[in-house]
Amino acid sequence: MERQVLLSEPEEAAALYRGLSRQPALSAACLGPEVTTQYGGQYRTVHTEWTQRDLERMENIRFCRQYLVFHDGDSVVFAGPAGNSVETRGELLSRESPSGTMKAVLRKAGGTGPGEEKQFLEVWEKNRKLKSFNLSALEKHGPVYEDDCFGCLSWSHSETHLLYVAEKKRPKAESFFQTKALDVSASDDEIARLKKPDQAIKGDQFVFYEDWGENMVSKSIPVLCVLDVESGNISVLEGVPENVSPGQAFWAPGDAGVVFVGWWHEPFRLGIRFCTNRRSALYYVDLIGGKCELLSDDSLAVSSPRLSPDQCRIVYLQYPSLIPHHQCSQLCLYDWYTKVTSVVVDVVPRQLGENFSGIYCSLLPLGCWSADSQRVVFDSAQRSRQDLFAVDTQVGTVTSLTAGGSGGSWKLLTIDQDLMVAQFSTPSLPPTLKVGFLPSAGKEQSVLWVSLEEAEPIPDIHWGIRVLQPPPEQENVQYGGPHSSFVTAWMLFPAMLCKMGFAVLLVNYRGSTGFGQDSILSLPGNVGHQDVKDVQFAVEQVLQEEHFDASHVALMGGSHGGFISCHLIGQYPETYRACVARNPVINIASMLGSTDIPDWCVVEAGFPFSSDCLPDLSVWAEMLDKSPIRYIPQVKTPLLLMLGQEDRRVPFKQGMEYYRALKTRNVPVRLLLYPKSTHALSEVEVESDSFMNAVLWLRTHLGS
C-alpha cells in the first residue's frame, strides 16, 4: 500500500484523521419477516447496526439504519434504504423474535458511577414498548453479559420466554465493625424476622473473585437466566455442572431445555478473549428434570453452536488443540434425534495451491443455515483474504461464494431464508453493505450481489498481495502466538499512513491464521526467531524490488506485533530509523506471573502448559532467550511506547521494563501511558491521540 506525497504539518494529519475516522463499521444485521404487497411483490427489511468514532464526544457511537429488499424468491429485484440513520443509545443486546413480530432489547440507563447504572430488558411490538423489566431492581442476578464470548439473548420458539446469561448474584458483605441503628423497642420476634437469608456476611468485603481476563474483568460466574415475558418472573437455571461456566445458549427443539457451551474454570480462570483454545464442551440441560447432558467431546474446545431451521441439527466449531490461542477449526454436526456427532469439515494441515485452507473464525454468525437446513455459510481467512464459503453438511464439500472477485475481504452478517447480508471492504474501500441470495447447490459461485450502502473508495491508495518464500536456511520442516492475520480489508491506521505518503507493509509471517494448521503450529517454540526473520526478510525483499529509500524505514506494531518490532530494532538495529510499539511483549519470563494468558508464555516458548506447572531454570532461560529484552544492548532506534494501564493481556509493566532499560542506555524513548485503556488501545480518545503521536514521532525521526 502506498502513496507518494508526505504530509508535513500535524494539522493536515489531524484533518485527514478526522475525515477517515468518520467511516462507520458494520457490527450486526438481521432480516425482518417476509412481506407480500397487495400487488404480489415480496420484500424484507434489513435492520443494520453500525459503530462510528465521534471525536467531539470522544466515544464510539452506535446507530441503526433500515433497508428494503424486494425480491422474486431467488434474486434481488430492488434494494435501498428506508429512511436515515438513528443513534441507538444504551442498547447492549437486541434480538428479533422468530416470527419477527417482537424484538427484545437489553438496555443500560442511569448514571456512570458505581452502582448507578441499571439494566432493563424491554420487549417491543409494532409501534410500542410492550414490556420493560428493571433487571437491576429485581436482584435475581448481577449484570447481564453483553459480550460475544458468553453473552446471548435468545427467544424461545414459542416466543413466551427469553434466555440470557448474567453474573451470579453475589452475597452481600460488610465490615466486622459495621454499626447499625438499634431499635430498642423491637421484640425478639421482630428482630428474628428482620434477619433475612441474604443478610451481609462479615469479613467478605475484599474476597477475590477470579475473572475471565482482558475486557472481561467484571465477569466471573455466569449463570443461565430465563424471563417469562408474560408474568415477568425470572428464574436462574439449575443443573449446570459446577466445574463449568455457561454461555452462548439457545433453546433446544420444543423449548424443553437449553443448549449451551460450558467452559472449564478449574483450577482457575484464564483470559478467554481471542482465545479459542479454552477447554469447553456442548451441553443440554433439561428444564423439567434439571438433568444436564454432555453433547460433545469434553477434552477439546468448542464455540458458537447454531440450530438448523428444521430444529433437527446443531452445527458448531470445534478446536482440536488446546495449545495455540487461535487455530484451524473443525465444523461439527450434532443430530438432535439420532444423537450422532460427525465432523463435516476437518482441520486442514496445509493448503495445496488455491484449495480451501481451513476454517479460521472464532464465531459462526447467529444466522448461518440455508433455508433447507442442508448448507452452512460462514466467512474465514484464506491466506491474506477473507472469503465467504458454503458447506454442504451432508457430504462435507466446501465452496467459495466470493472467489475470483476483486481481491477484497468479506464478512457474513446473517443469512435467513437464503437471503445473505454481508460486508465487503478492501484496504482502500471502507465497508460496503451487500445482499444476495444463496444459489442452489452446485451453483454457489454465481451469487449476484446488490449493494445496499456503497462506500466511496479512498483515492491514491494502491495495494496488492505479495507472496514471499523464506530462504532455505530459514525453512521450518513443519512449514512453516499470536495466531491471527492481516487480510485485505479496511483498516484505519494503514489507510491513514498511505494517505500521508508512507508505503505500508503488513506481513503474515509463518504462524498466521489462514495458511493451514501446520503453519500455525510451526510458531510455538520459535517466537522471537521465525516470526522476526520472516518480517525482516519481507522488508529486505521489498526494499530490493521497489524504489524506496532504505534509510527511511520505520516499524509500528501492537501486542505480538510490538514484540516483533522490539525484536527487530534489537536484532537488526541498522535497518530501522524509528519504531512505535503498542503494549508490546518485552520479557516473556516476567510476563508469566501477571498476564491473563500465562499459557501463551509457556507454549510459545516451546513447552507444554499445565495449570500446576512451575518453570525451572531452563524454561526461564528459554523465555528470556526469545524475548526482546535480551537484545537491549544493540538497540539504538528511537522508540515510542504506548501502554494501556488496564491491560490484562500484556500488563503495562512489560513496556515499563523496556523503557527503563533504554533510558539507562540513553536510547531516545518516549512513553505514553493511558490510565483507563486496555490492550487494544481502542477507546476513541486513546486511539486518536496514539495515532497523532505516532505520526509526529515518525516525522521527527524520519524527516519529511
Separation of alpha carbons 378 and 363, rounded Å: 9
Question: Could you give the CA distance from residue 157 to residue 155 in angstroms, rounded to a whole number?
Answer: 6
For residue 641, the cross-strand partners are 581, 671
Distance CA 401, CA 410 (A): 10
The number of beta carbons lying within 10 Å of the beta carbon of residue 663 is: 12
Report how far apart, in Å, the C-alpha atoms of 638 and of each of 125, 294, 493, 701 are: 59, 55, 20, 7
Whole-number Å distance between alpha carbons of 569 and 667: 12
Neighbours of 343 (CB within 10 A): 13
The string over 107-136, giving b where at least 16 C-beta atoms fall within 10 Å of a residue's C-beta and e elsewhere, is bbeeeeeeeeeebbbbbbeeeeeebebebb
Measured CA distances, 624 to 13, 582, 602, 607 (Å): 39, 20, 12, 14
For the chain, how many residues are written?
704
Please tell me the distance from the alpha carbon of residue 550 to that of residue 702, in angstroms, as a whole number.
Answer: 11
Q: Cβ(28)–Cβ(50) under 8 Å?
A: no
Q: Is the dihedral of CA 587, 589, 592, 597 positive or negative?
A: positive
**Which residues lie across from 307 on neighbouring strands?**
314
The cell numbers describing 8, all together, are 508535513
Q: Residues 504, 497: contact at Cβ < 8 Å?
A: yes
Strand partners, 110: 117
In 268-408, beta strands by DSSP E? 280-286, 292-294, 301-307, 313-319, 330-335, 341-345, 375-382, 385-392, 398-400
- At residue 180, the 3 state secondary structure works out as coil
Whether the ω angle into residue 267 lies within 30 degrees of 0, i.e. cis, is yes
d(CA 381, CA 334): 25
Burial 387-403 (b: 16+ CB within 10 A, else e): bbbbbbbeeebbbbbbe
Give the span between the Cα atoms of 51 and 36, in whole angstroms: 32
All residues at 6 or more sequence positions from 239 whose CB lies less than 8 Å from its CB, including other chains: 285, 286, 290, 291, 292
Q: Are the C-beta atoms of residues 271 and 215 closer than 8 Å to each other? A: no
CA distances to 208, 234, 528, 600 from 653, rounded to whole Å, are 22, 44, 20, 17
Per-residue buried b or exposed e for 148-174, using 16+ beta carbons within 10 Å of the residue's own CB: ebbbbbbbbbebebbbbbbbeeeeeee
* Closest of 385, 388, 394 to residue 420, by C-alpha: 388
Taking the alpha carbons at both ends of the chain, their separation in whole angstroms is 19
CB atoms within 10 A of CB 511: 27
Q: Which residues are catalytic?
A: 559, 647, 679
Phi, psi values for residue 556, rounded to 5°: -145, 125
Which segments of 163-270 does DSSP mark as H helices, in order? 188-194
385 with 402: CB under 8 angstroms? no
